[in-house]
């Protein structure tokens, strides 16, 4: 991780400033996970397929009509598979990929929306508990792991890939943590890995929900390798023939089939100085002020587009997400997951706000793209509301229990 961050810093230092450049919001209408109506997708065994190779196994996320959105069953199956593979001496390393045009668009938020409205909060808890536990297992896995991010990789899709050893991005990769747009917070370990990105890029991605390309993922360290999608078949074929559990051997293979790419001139990577200047402030209000000042003084299209993105998000989610990233910078993976579990229960309980359900309704269910946030403005989001978001759901609500005694977390 340190080597990647150093490489990313080198790229950023060499980058030139650019102006403007932001994907339109309706891009998210195509990449957010829709509900699955495909009976094949909903066959529980078929939702995660297994591909056996000489000395490796590949888990294939297989709900293509739902962009491989994760549900409780998939999390439980991944947990079972990865635990058995880790204990199997005939398996040297593990890989993960997705079916169709997505690696994984995140958690199945539409299913969660319906569970909440049906009062099935225990089922919601089980979803978060199962997924977060798998992410911790992946982040402490004893064997090398290769995630092939060929397509949409958002929210929980980052959670089930980035904590692993290697992440291969492609020309089809679209990465984002778009939770503030649905009244939630970047979860599934995002407060850990976003907070460790160069400068204040993590705050920028968490608050704006903006996308990164595969080249940008490599530049900032979220991905370790880049390969054009058309070359993946050969890469996977050769990878499957390896008989090794040595990460350096796997890395050498991935590098053999990797392509050298650079972020285009419109990339946020080239605006890291502006991002650092504006997103280093202590409060969301100060971030807004800094962007407005920068935009008015320089007529910077990048700052204006960033402001527009922020104004679409839930005010409560913005404040909660900023604090989450800031806390994550000084926590281990397990501490981030335990805290995110608390936050996710609060965010789906409607005790503080109904922004999550309202955001999903507006973006994914009714699709009117007109969420009515509560509170509707930053000024009306109190410190007590934010503080409450980081507290246990109740005095008797247990925290997430992770196997930290058996598997040591990393910083």
Check if the beta carbon of residue 85 is closer than 8 Å to that of residue 79.
Answer: no
Catalytic residue among 151, 156, 164, 199: 156
Q: Which of 21-30, 188-197, 215-224, 243-252 has the lowest mean pLDDT?
A: 21-30
Q: Which has more pLDDT, 79 or 408?
A: 79
Residue 187 is a catalytic residue: yes
Paired strand residues for 97: 60
Catalytic residue among 41, 108, 150, 179: 179
Instruction: Decide: helix, strand or coil at residue 308.
Output: helix
pLDDT tier at 208, thresholds 50, 70, 90: very high
Mean pLDDT of 266-293: 96
The pLDDT tens digits of the residues spanning 239-271 come to: 999 999 999 999 999 999 999 999 999 999 999
Measured distance between the N- and C-terminal CA atoms of the chain, rounded to whole angstroms: 10
pLDDT tier at 42, thresholds 50, 70, 90: low
pLDDT tier at 22, thresholds 50, 70, 90: very low
Burial class of residue 135 in the structure, from the number of CB atoms within 10 Å of its CB (0-12 exposed, 13-18 middle, 19+ buried): buried
Please indicate, yes or no, if residue 409 is contained in any of the structural domains. Answer: no
Maximal C-alpha separation, the chain: 62
Residue 107 is a catalytic residue: yes
* Total domains present in the chain: 1
The pLDDT tens digits of the residues spanning 91-140 come to: 999 999 999 999 999 999 999 999 999 999 999 999 999 999 999 999 99
- Tell whether the model's pLDDT for residue 162 goes beyond 50: yes
What's the confidence (pLDDT) of residue 337?
97
Check if the beta carbon of residue 162 is closer than 8 Å to that of residue 194.
Answer: no
What's the confidence (pLDDT) of residue 10?
33
Please indicate, yes or no, if residue 132 is contained in any of the structural domains. Answer: yes
pLDDT tier at 410, thresholds 50, 70, 90: low
Instruction: Decide: helix, strand or coil at residue 283.
Output: coil
Q: Return all residues near 277 (Cβ < 8 A) that are at least 6 apart.
A: 290, 294
Catalytic residue among 150, 187, 210, 216: 187
Gap between the Cα atoms of 295 and 304, Å rounded: 6
Q: For residue 248, give both structure tokens.
A: 């350096």
Gap between the Cα atoms of 204 and 281, Å rounded: 12
What's the confidence (pLDDT) of residue 33?
44
Domain at 377, CATH number: 3.90.226.10
- Tell whether the model's pLDDT for residue 221 goes beyond 80: yes
Give, as one character, the DSSP assignment of residue 167.
Answer: E
User: Phi and psi dihedrals of 151, rounded to 5?
Assistant: 135, -160
Mean pLDDT of 319-335: 97
Give me the chain's average pLDDT, please.
89
The pLDDT tens digits of the residues spanning 64-82 come to: 999 999 999 999 999 999 9
- Tell whether the model's pLDDT for residue 43 goes beyond 90: no
Residue 399 is a catalytic residue: no
Residue 126 is a catalytic residue: no
Q: Which has more pLDDT, 365 or 299?
A: 365
Please indicate, yes or no, if residue 165 is contained in any of the structural domains. Answer: yes
Pinpoint the alpha helices (H) of 101-152: 109-117, 121-139
Q: For residue 14, give both structure tokens.
A: 């060499």
Please indicate, yes or no, if residue 19 is contained in any of the structural domains. Answer: no
What's the confidence (pLDDT) of residue 313?
98
What's the confidence (pLDDT) of residue 297?
76
What's the confidence (pLDDT) of residue 34?
46
Please indicate, yes or no, if residue 329 is contained in any of the structural domains. Answer: yes
Please indicate, yes or no, if residue 4 is contained in any of the structural domains. Answer: no
- Tell whether the model's pLDDT for residue 181 goes beyond 90: yes
Catalytic residue among 92, 98, 106, 107: 107
Q: Which has more pLDDT, 1 or 390?
A: 390
Please indicate, yes or no, if residue 36 is contained in any of the structural domains. Answer: no
Please indicate, yes or no, if residue 83 is contained in any of the structural domains. Answer: yes
Q: Which domain holds residue 136?
A: 45-390
| Helices 121-139 and 333-349, packing angle to 10 deg | 160
Range of 4-13, 249-258, 298-307 with top mean pLDDT: 249-258
């Amino acid at each position: 991780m340190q080597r990647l961050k150093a490489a990313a810093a080198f790229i950023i230092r060499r980058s030139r400033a650019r102006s403007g450049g932001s994907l339109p919001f309706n891009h998210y209408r195509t990449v957010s996970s829709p509900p699955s109506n495909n009976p094949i997708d909903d066959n529980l065994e078929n939702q995660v397929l297994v591909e056996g190779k000489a000395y490796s196994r590949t888990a294939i996320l297989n709900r293509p009509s739902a962009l491989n959105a994760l549900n409780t069953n998939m999390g439980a199956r991944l947990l079972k598979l990865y635990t058995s593979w880790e204990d199997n001496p005939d398996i040297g390393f593990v890989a993960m990929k997705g079916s169709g045009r997505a690696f994984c668009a995140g958690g199945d938020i539409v299913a969660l929306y319906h569970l909440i409205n049906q009062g099935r909060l225990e089922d919601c808890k089980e979803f978060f508990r199962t997924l977060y536990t798998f992410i911790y297992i992946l982040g402490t896995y004893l064997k090398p792991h290769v995630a092939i991010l060929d397509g949409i990789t958002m929210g929980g899709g980052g959670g089930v890939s980035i904590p692993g050893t290697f992440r291969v991005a492609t020309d089809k990769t679209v990465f984002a943590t778009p939770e503030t747009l649905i009244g939630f917070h970047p979860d599934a370990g995002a407060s850990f890995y976003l907070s460790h990105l160069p400068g204040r890029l993590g705050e920028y991605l968490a608050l704006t929900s903006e996308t990164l390309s595969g080249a940008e993922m490599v530049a900032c360290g979220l991905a370790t390798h880049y390969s054009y999608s058309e070359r993946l078949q050969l890469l996977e074929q050769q990878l499957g023939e390896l008989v090794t559990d040595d990460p350096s051997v796997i890395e050498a293979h991935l590098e053999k089939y990797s392509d050298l790419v650079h972020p285009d001139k419109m990339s946020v990577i080239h605006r890291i100085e502006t991002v650092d200047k504006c997103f280093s402030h202590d409060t969301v209000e100060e971030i807004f002020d800094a962007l407005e000042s920068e935009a008015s003084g320089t007529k910077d299209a990048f700052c204006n587009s960033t402001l527009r993105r922020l104004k679409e998000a839930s005010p409560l989610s913005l404040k909660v997400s900023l604090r989450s990233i800031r806390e994550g910078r000084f926590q281990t993976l397990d501490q981030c997951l335990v805290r995110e579990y608390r936050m996710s229960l609060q965010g789906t309980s409607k005790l503080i706000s109904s922004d999550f359900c309202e955001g999903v309704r507006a973006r994914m269910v009714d699709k009117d793209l007109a969420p009515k946030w509560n509170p509707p403005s930053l000024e009306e989001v109190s410190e007590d509301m934010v503080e409450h978001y980081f507290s246990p759901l109740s005095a008797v609500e247990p925290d997430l229990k992770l196997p930290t005694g058996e598997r040591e977390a990393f910083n």
